[in-house]
Each structure stands twice: as C-alpha cells, then as structure tokens.
Amino acid sequence: MSNHEHNHDHEHDHNHSHDHNHEHSHGALPTILYFIGLGAFILSYFPFGTLTANILATVTIFLSGYHIIIEGFSDTISQTKENRKFTPNVHILMAFAAFGAAIIGDFKEGALLIVIFAGAHFLEDYVEEKSKKEITNLMAMNPTEARLILDNGDTKIVPVGELKIGDHLQVLNGDQIPTDGEILSGFANIDESSINGESIPAEKTTGDFVFGSTMNGQSSFTMVVTKDSSDTVFAKILELVNQSQSNLSKTATKIKKLEPKYVTLVLVSITLYIILMPLVFGHTWYESFYKGMVFLTVASPCALAASDVPATLSGISNLAKRGVLFKGGSYLSNLVDIKAFAFDKTGTLTQGKPSVTDVYFLNENKTEAENYKNIIVAMEKQANHPLATAIIEGIPVTEELDLVVENQIGHGLVTSIQQDLYKIGKAEQFNVLPLQLEQKREEFAREGKTVVLFGKNDHAIGLIAMMDLPNEKAVDMIKYMKQAGIHTIMITGDNEVTGQAIGKTLNVDDVKGNVLPENKAQAVEELQKVYGQVAMVGDGVNDAPALVKSDIGIAMGEGTDIAIDVADVVLMKNDLDQLTYAHRISKRLNRVVMQNITFSMAVVLLLVVLNIFGKMNLPIGILAHESSTILVLLNGIRLLKPLK
C-alpha cells in the first residue's frame, strides 16, 4: 500500500519464525494432547511407585510438550536452513531443559516445566487471539450474496464475487449492501458503522453512493454496481487490517532479531557451565547438570518475547473499535515520536463548507432587515453556486417569497420588486459603495471571510460574510498537541490572509498559505528537515503525495479509497478527538512495552544470580519464570481497555 520508502523499512521480512509471535494456528491436537499429558502429570503424584511415576512424567513431557518440542526442533532446523546460520528459538531451550531434568532422574520437575511453559504458551496465544478478534470481527461483516436484477426484471441471488461493474441490484429492507455502488431508485436510511464507526444512520437517495458491508434500514431500493468487489472501501479496510497484524513495531522486530542470538548464547554458556563447574569448583556432575537445567529454564527470554506484540495488538484493537485503523504496529508505536503535525486546512481543520458568519445592513431597522433577508434567501434559492447553499441554510427567514431572478454572468443575481431592482454580487458591480460598508467589507476580508454585497437600485446597502468555519474538535486537538510539545502547522491552498485567520482561531503554531496540492509534499519535506519526524493529516484526495512523503500519513477517512490506499492511519469518522486518543494510546503502549522489557530482564537476571549462589531449584525457577511471562501478557492486554 503506502510506499513510505524512507524510514518505513519496517522489516517486512517476517520469516514467520514461530517464536513467541505465533502466526500459525495450533489446531485442536496440541490442546487435546496437553490435557492428556496434564492428567498423566497429576497421576504421577499418586502412590504408584517411582518407576510408574517416572513413566507418567515422561508421558507428560512428550504429550503436553508436543507442540513445544515440535516448534523447538522443526522451526530451529527450518530457520537455520533458511538463514544459513544457527537460528534457535525459546522452545528449544524449554525442550532441552525438560529432557535434561529427565536425564538426571528429575522426571517430575521436567514434566512440571513443560506443563507450566505450555500452559503459559496457550495463554499467550489466547491473549493474541483476543486482541486480533476485535479486529477480525470486521471480517464477519464482509457481504457474501447479492440480489441481481435480471434482464426480464426477476431477481436472482448470486455470490458477491460474481458481480460486475454495471450490474443492477435490488436491496430489500434489513439487507446488507453487497458492494459499493450508486442508488438508481428509492431512498434509504443506511447504518454505515462498519465503514466509519458512525452510529447515526445516513439518509441516501437517488444518485448517492452506498458502501458494501453497510446495513439497509426499513426501505428498499435498486442500485448499480460501481466497483469490483475486491476494490470496495470495505475490502480495502480488511486489507489494511490484515497488514496491521503482520507489520510489527520496531521493538518487536528488534526482539525477534535478538532472540536467536540470545538463545545461542544461553546454550553455549550452559554447556560451558556444566563442564567447568565440576572441573574448576569441584561440584558433582549431578549438581552442575541440575544447576545447568535451572539456568536453562530461568534464562529463557519468554517474557521478553511476549513484551511487545500482545500489547501492540491490544492497542490496535482498542483503536479499531473507535474507527481508527492503523496499518501496523510500527505506526502506532512511532506515533509518540512525531515532533510536528502538518494539517490540511479544508475538511480537516475546518468543516469543509462555507457558513454564514455575519449579515450586516446599513442603518437597518428590524422590519427592513427581516424583509431584506427574505429577499436574499429567495434570490439565492434560484442560484446554483456553493455559497448559495450556505446563505439559504445560514439566514433565517420570516416569509417565503417567490421571485423571478436573473443570474447575470459577471453581475450576480438580479430581481425586481415593485420598481426596485435588487442585486447580490461583488463590490465592483455596484455604482455606489458607502464608506461604512467598504470598511466593514475590508474588516471581514482581513478575518479571512468571503464577502458578497446586497444592493438596491445600484446602491450597496448590506453584506453577507461567510467562511469555512473551524472543525469544533480541532481546537481541543491542537491544544492537546501543544501540551504534548508537538509543533502544529496548517497547510492550505487558500490565500495567506484566510489561512492566518483560521490559524489564529485554532491557535496553530504556523500557517503555510497559497500551497498548491502538488507542493504539499515539498512542504512536508521542508518540515522534516526542521523537526525530524513529521505526521501529515489530510482528507486523502489531493493530499495523497504529502501523506506518502510524511513519516506517518493520517487520512480523514469518510470512506475515500485513495485515503485508505496511501495513508498509514485512517480516521474513519473524520473525528479529530480520535487523533488525540491514538496519540495517548501510543504513549501508553510505549510505556507498557518498556515496563515489560525492564521487568522481564530484571527477573531473568535475579533468577540467574540466585541460581549461581545455589538459592534456586527447578520448580521455583519454573514458577518464577513463567509467572513473569504471564504478568507481562496481562500488562499488555490492559491496552484493550478504553482510556478515560
């Protein structure tokens, strides 16, 4: 998707080393064998005699440890072949420790090690699955069938995959909309929460676009297919979700690369330890071998391996539920390192459409002013420019007038009422422009407002000022960014005056005006030179090059495919509050991962030191070591909880 070539080399070389990031499913067999082995382990404590107890413990090692042993040896062999160098994993350490304990006659301790390690391993899988499930719930929403309208007018249920662009479909009440398209006839209230997380249904009618996977309300309509099922907005979201599972964070990638080196070091150290202890310190072979097995257990980096991925997946799931989609763990963990946020103005920091801010008449009295407003709205109802809608929606009327209006190109709108000629247009279209009105017009223009004048018989007598108002959530978001020490920049194609006016309202640090869409990427590049890591927030369409250029591209979604294609993060609801929320989750994720790494390394160090001084036996080592892994997992899963 996004070709963030520069610093996005997020090692997509996930060679699926089945270390602790098991991207494979264990199926039911290991679970069944685990419980049979567990039964054997419990039986080994019954008074059957030593031989029977040892046989039962051996059964436990091989059955409960089935997938640990298989993963330990088969993955080490396949990875070693693939990388052309010895690439062991954590599981092989555990398999060796269990076999070693059995060799020196401590069968039950070897079995205990396997039972606890495999149990923790299943728990970790469960945590990862739980985090993924939040995201994969989306998959269940993927439509499978459609009602195709045949040439003779009948309908036939067909698989969505068989639909072609141009096919006509019928959508009945309560149906799931099968694919992206346009309404041909009828109207609908559509629940679009699967696309944008918005709970209020959207009203749609002829000519409006509808999205696959959304749910139709209580009416039925016909539609034409406008996209191949693999190109729908929902298909893009699913693709994005799948990516987020495989794109690991920097920390997880580092841990993954470090693991084989660490395991090799442990294996070499233990071999030397077992050989040298009897020779140098005069220990018995049993003692040195037993201590070696304890060492093997406590030095295994299980907790370290589990310190990042479950936490990152939990953070991504938490955000996915709120309509914030991350293309990968790396973007979520890097968000906290961003030093500057660049924002597109229109539709991102502003509402994206003009609104009336001021209506002003010279020496007005109330009745006259109301009469003028009625005339203005009635005239604008006959016009078709974008400002007309703003005027109709923004000026209240006391009476609906029916006027004959002429749209004179270059002159504006003209109508006559009882010998008086009324006009709406630019300043230069009036013969008389009183000074007071001219001053007011200049004052509004300085505030970045668009001004149209209203006149009677070629005398300008009033004006209407409009502007694209700030997105009310932008103010809080900018305030948060400032508190977090992040520089904020607004980039706009508008003139400097309008840009500065909006920038001032929102309190952004910097405004770059008159920037053409093709120069936005260049503006981002300049910011990178000054601030380092820069995120760009835009609405996707004309911001695509800038989103790609930035370190993290964040698109205001509302279902635009181009945004989903090029961005690293998509705010499906166009809700800037969620950007603040995502930054807070990123901060928390980095905190949790650091806690996990520090804690897991401290536990390993403590257990190794205690073992050297003879203060550690195998059962206590196993319990302490596996408890630390479970604590790390539980700490990570806290990120599933919504922040206050």
Q: Which domain-ending residue is among 205, 235, 265?
A: 235
Task: Give the pLDDT confidence score for residue 538 in this predicted structure.
Answer: 86
CATH of the domain at 404: 3.40.1110.10
Task: Give the pLDDT confidence score for residue 129 in this predicted structure.
Answer: 74
Task: Give the pLDDT confidence score for residue 614 in this predicted structure.
Answer: 82
Alpha helices in 137-217 (DSSP H): 193-196
Q: Is residue 195 part of a domain?
A: yes
Q: Is residue 164 part of a domain?
A: yes
Q: Is residue 279 part of a domain?
A: no
Q: Are strands 406-408 and 412-417 parallel, antiparallel or unpaired?
A: antiparallel
Q: Which domain-ending residue is among 235, 251, 269?
A: 235
What are the tokens at 629?
């892994």
**Is the CB of residue 79 less than 8 Å from the CB of residue 89?**
yes
Q: Is residue 187 part of a domain?
A: yes
Task: Give the pLDDT confidence score for residue 494 in this predicted structure.
Answer: 78
- The whole-model pTM stands at 0.75
Q: Is residue 567 part of a domain?
A: no
What are the tokens at 584?
């807070």
Q: Residue ranges of the chain with pLDDT lower than 50?
A: 1-24, 559
Instruction: State the Cα–Cα distance between residues 191 and 246, nearest whole angstrom.
Output: 30
Q: Is residue 288 part of a domain?
A: no
Q: Is residue 28 part of a domain?
A: no
Task: Give the pLDDT confidence score for residue 265 in this predicted structure.
Answer: 92
Could you tell me the sign of the dihedral formed by the alpha carbons of 570, 562, 493, 383, in that order? Answer: negative
- Beta carbons within 10 angstroms of residue 226's beta carbon: 16
CA 205 to chain centre: 31
Domain range spanning residue 443?
A: 352-469
Backbone angles phi, psi at 42, to 5 degrees: -65, -45
Backbone angles phi, psi at 322, to 5 degrees: -100, 10
Amino acid (one-letter) located at 227: K
Task: Give the pLDDT confidence score for residue 246 in this predicted structure.
Answer: 65
Output DSSP code: residue 54.
H
**Is the CB of residue 595 less than 8 Å from the CB of residue 271?**
no
- In tens, the pLDDT along 147-172 reads 999 999 999 999 998 999 999 999 99
Task: Give the pLDDT confidence score for residue 56 in this predicted structure.
Answer: 95
Instruction: State the Cα–Cα distance between residues 130 and 343, nearest whole angstrom.
Output: 35
Task: Give the pLDDT confidence score for residue 17 in this predicted structure.
Answer: 34
Task: Give the pLDDT confidence score for residue 287 in this predicted structure.
Answer: 87
Instruction: State the Cα–Cα distance between residues 71 and 92, nearest whole angstrom.
Output: 8
CB within 8 A of 427, min separation 6: which ones? 433, 438, 441, 451, 453, 460
Q: Which domain-ending residue is among 469, 496, 514?
A: 469
Known catalytic residues?
A: 344
Q: Is residue 290 part of a domain?
A: no
Using only the alpha carbons of the chain, give its radius of gyration.
Answer: 34
**Number of structural domains, the chain?**
2
CATH of the domain at 177: 2.70.150.10
